[in-house]
Amino acid sequence: MQREFSMTQTNAQAQIELHKTLAPRYALRYSYPFSRLFQEDWHAEMISHVPEGTRHILDLGCGTGFFLAELEARHPGSVGLDISHEMLKVSDQYVPGVRLVTGDAEKLPFLPGAFDVVFCKGSLHHTRDHVGFLTHCKKALGSNGCLIMSEPCNDNPLISLARKILYNKSPHFDIGDQGFTKRGIIELTERAGFEVTLARRYGVFAYVFAGFPDHVGILRHIPGNAALTRLFIGLDRLICKIPGLSLMGFHIVIVARPR
């Protein structure tokens, strides 16, 4: 249904429709202990870049709130924003009392400089005006602020092809969503007025086998899947450190400071 509408709807409407159906899938995705292990490692990778003294945090495209819960535990008063009210309903149950805002990341409703850190885990690629999105992030950050993102990386032609097929064929993606090359996402971030201080690929085997048990369910049936996930996480970290091999990374973590 999403695919029929996407030619006539705005992207914002299409994303709202799409994520209505995805909210229960996300809850399932994060419910397996082995998949939580992987997600927690991913979150730890992103959180490791939070500067000392950070107080005010925004999770842009917070979805069902599993990352937000970790941010709120470390930095009480964190804010989650998402375009999908259905996703936020899960967040509300999962992180009771956390500050949630239904809104469009391309039109952020916050005062300039309201946040020290803006996180964006997998939401930029759902938008169409990437520079606009990032410019809003910059406005929401103080001059000493920090943007920490993780987005799908398409530097590897095989990954790029697989993603293209998935985004075109699967009802769980929007046809206009797209991954980024490392160079491409750095350029977009710089065009929005940031200086990129880190761009590091993340996630290979653990990403594929533990990250999305709602799509790739094989680990669900394998005894010792938590140990296997830990092994994959370690292997992925090694792979992503080795030039050339790091092209196997499915995501790219970006850290950027307003110029």
Ligand X SMILES: C[S@@+](CC[C@H](N)C(=O)[O-])C[C@H]1O[C@@H](n2cnc3c(N)ncnc32)[C@H](O)[C@@H]1O
Residues lying near ligand X in the complex (CB under 6 A): 12, 15, 19, 61-63, 66-67, 82-84, 87, 104-106, 121-123, 126-127
Per the DSSP assignment, residues forming a β-bridge with 253 are 150, 200
**Residue 177 Cβ, how far from ligand X at the closest point, in Å?**
9
**Residue 193 Cβ, how far from ligand X at the closest point, in Å?**
19
**Residue 242 Cβ, how far from ligand X at the closest point, in Å?**
26
122 versus 184: smaller Cβ distance to ligand X = 122
15 versus 35: smaller Cβ distance to ligand X = 15
**Residue 118 Cβ, how far from ligand X at the closest point, in Å?**
12
82 versus 116: smaller Cβ distance to ligand X = 82
66 versus 194: smaller Cβ distance to ligand X = 66
Which DSSP string corresponds to the chain?
-HHHHTTTS-HHHHHHHHHHHHHHHHHHHTTSHHHHHHHHHHHHHHHTTPPTT---EEEET-TTSHHHHHHHHHSTT-EEEES-HHHHHHHHHHSTT-EEEE--GGG--S-TT-EEEEEEES-GGG-S-HHHHHHHHHHHEEEEEEEEEEEEB--SHHHHHHHHHHHHH-TTS-TT---B-HHHHHHHHHHTTEEEEEEEEE-SHHHHHHS-TTT--GGGGSTTHHHHHHHHHHHHHHHHHSTTGGGG-SEEEEEEEE-
**Residue 126 Cβ, how far from ligand X at the closest point, in Å?**
4
82 versus 236: smaller Cβ distance to ligand X = 82
**Residue 102 Cβ, how far from ligand X at the closest point, in Å?**
9
- What residue number has its CB nearest to ligand X? 63
18 versus 219: smaller Cβ distance to ligand X = 18
Q: Strands 141-152, 251-258: parallel, antiparallel or unpaired by DSSP?
A: antiparallel
Integer Cα distance of 166 and 216 in angstroms: 12
Integer Cα distance of 140 and 109 in angstroms: 9
**Residue 60 Cβ, how far from ligand X at the closest point, in Å?**
6
113 versus 122: smaller Cβ distance to ligand X = 122
